[in-house]
Amino acid sequence: MKTAINYAEVPHQLQCGDSVFPRVIVNDGSVTNLSECERWINDNIDVLEGALKSSGAILFRGFPVNSAETFDTFSNAFAYPNFTYKESLSNAVRINFTERVFTANEAPKEVEIYLHHEMAQTPISPSKIFFFCKSAANEGGATPLCRSDMLFAELLKRAPEVAQEFASKGLKYTTHMPAEDDLRSGQGRSWMSTLSVESKEQAEHKLAELKYSWKWMPDGSLKATTPVLPAVVDLGNGVKVFYNQLIAAYMGWKGVKENPASAITFGDGSHIPVAALELVTSIAEQFTFDLPWQDGDVALVDNYMAMHGRKPYSGERKREVLVALAMN
């Protein structure tokens, strides 16, 4: 027998056009173990995917997920091809638990990770993100989620020329990869680990293949600039999303607020006006829902439709949010 989907409401959910953001689904008690959970996902996959497509994010609450392994099974039940951290060019330091599951970001609790589309500052990014809250913080630690289509529509309304400039020129990102992993930073992954290489020669080969330009620094770190990447992506169904890492880079990367052009420029190398960066950052707030984690929550986020981040947190309790990425 097919078990129904039990939609629920949580405070501060956003109404975005016709859809609710995020969708919240609560186990009504009929899914009692992991294999029933897998079956429930299989039985309802079309409806779940429809909800994800229209909303951009689904929060699953009260399902039998309580460890990296059970989260692996839950996320695997959607049958999306895996996108591993190892293969990615993510610059966050993370720890792997299973082939698919790793920590969200090892940055210290007082550090805020600002809104971004996962790995949109690299040529290879995942299409879906599963988050699992193994252990919520005592205070804070929400995952802000922002509807990127709404953000771009509002930008088009408020500053059409700026919106068009982003869409037509695209962006280039310059990142600084340390010689060793730096756990104190949100972008502290070493160049060897980021590029999955063991020597400078291999690093250069990989960067050339990906069409980056680069410079070795005297301290052994590496400065690399991407080829032109999109700032806006057309999802093909009439929806355009502000698909990039501008807010995270401007607000959170070291030294970028003082000198944005050190890390982000338009695709032709011209400077992005600070007023434009401030405007998109403030518009984003309007379309952001702070996901208040409870132990055992799983969120599935469409990486094209929604940006995510991490609020600072405090208290004795270790905040453990794990991630699995998918590409389909």
Token code pair at residue 149: 């289509």
Q: Is 106 in the site for Fe ion (CB under 5 A)?
A: no
In the complex, least distance from residue 308 CB atom to Fe ion, rounded to whole angstroms: 6
Cβ contact 74:109 at 8 Å? no
In the complex, least distance from residue 116 CB atom to Fe ion, rounded to whole angstroms: 6
Of the candidate spans 12-20, 113-121, 211-219, 274-282, the one that interacts with Fe ion by CB under 5 A turns out to be 113-121
Give how far Cα 238 sits from Cα of 49, 52, 216, 225, 235, Å: 18, 17, 42, 31, 7
Q: Give the total of residues touching Fe ion (CB under 5 A).
A: 1
Q: Which position has the token pair 């529509």? A: 153
Comparison of 162 and 241: residue with beta carbon closer to Fe ion? 241
Of 72, 118, 297, 302, the one binding Fe ion (CB under 5 A) is 118
Comparison of 72 and 118: residue with beta carbon closer to Fe ion? 118
Which of 228, 123, 124, 121 is closest to 170 using CA atoms? 228
In the complex, least distance from residue 157 CB atom to Fe ion, rounded to whole angstroms: 27
Comparison of 88 and 265: residue with beta carbon closer to Fe ion? 88
Compute the distance between CA of residue 12 and CA of residue 164 in angstroms, rounded to an integer.
31
Radius of gyration of the chain (CA): 20
Minimal CB distance residue for Fe ion: 118
Maximum distance among all Cα pairs of the chain, rounded to whole angstroms: 65
Which of 51, 72, 71, 53 is closest to 8 using CA atoms? 51
In the complex, least distance from residue 298 CB atom to Fe ion, rounded to whole angstroms: 16
Comparison of 118 and 297: residue with beta carbon closer to Fe ion? 118
In the complex, least distance from residue 57 CB atom to Fe ion, rounded to whole angstroms: 13
Q: Which of residues 8-37 bind Fe ion (CB under 5 A)?
A: none
Comparison of 118 and 149: residue with beta carbon closer to Fe ion? 118
Q: Which position has the token pair 């039990």? A: 6
Comparison of 25 and 120: residue with beta carbon closer to Fe ion? 120
Burial class (CB in 10 A: 0-12, 13-18, 19+), 215: exposed
Residues that bind Fe ion (CB under 5 A): 118
